[in-house]
Structure 1
Amino acid sequence: MPEASLPVYFLCLLALSSACYIQNCPRGGKRAFPDTEIRQCMPCGPGNRGNCFGPNICCGEELGCYVGTAETLRCVEENYLPSPCETGGKACGAGGRCAAPGICCSDESCTMDPVCLDEDSDKSRQLSEKNLTILDGSAGDLLLKLMHLANRQQQGKHQGY
């Protein structure tokens, strides 16, 4: 009999030692996820009018996107904060979010995405054209033509329904 009770005592001891003690139990039990409230990402850019999308990316609706410039230095601090953040805008691309009119950004890069164009808004067109004035003439003209072409193609798809 004592030989059979030894494994039972061992199992009871094991169960008690892996238990969750009152002082350190997370809410919802030991298998519950810790409280991770998703917060708005840090503001960045001129006048803090943009939000960080990654350690080197700062975007805003009125600003466009800055990648690897002095305006993105504050975004490096985001990596050291313990809680996750989420930027505004609708989902686009592969795990990205709309950062500015026509631009989809993830934490690593930005791409042009027609999903992020608000076709009914003249404001978004004015903002995207305003952002393009920073570029030199030929690059700005090319990018502007591509944006208008993508917009026309997107409108053609919606009219076909």
Structure 2
Amino acid sequence: QEENYLPSPCQSGQKACGSGGRCAAAGICCNDESCVTEPECREGTGFPRRVRASDRSNATLLDGPSGALLLRLVQLAGAPEPAEPAQPGVY
């Protein structure tokens, strides 16, 4: 069986979003450079909720735990850095 390989989520055939990107998972828009959270890609806006693993056209579609993990990682990547912790004994 030949694997249907797509090099990036941007080529998944999903809905266009952001600045030249494509919806890679529910709530995630990816372009050639990065991924960001995007309301346009949320569930209920043309993004299919359930897919069969055998569907070749959905080879890069992230759903369920994979999509949730990607969304959380993008949220963490965009979060501000925490302040440096105080050093022990220094007030």
Please say whether Structure 1 and Structure 2 have the same fold, judged by a TM-score greater than 0.5. Answer: no
The higher radius of gyration belongs to 1
TM-score, structure 2 normalization: 0.41
TM-score, structure 1 normalization: 0.28
Query: Which one has more relative contact order, counting CA pairs under 8 Å at least 6 apart?
Result: 2
Normalized per residue, which structure has more helix? Answer: 1
Normalized per residue, which structure has more strand? Answer: 1
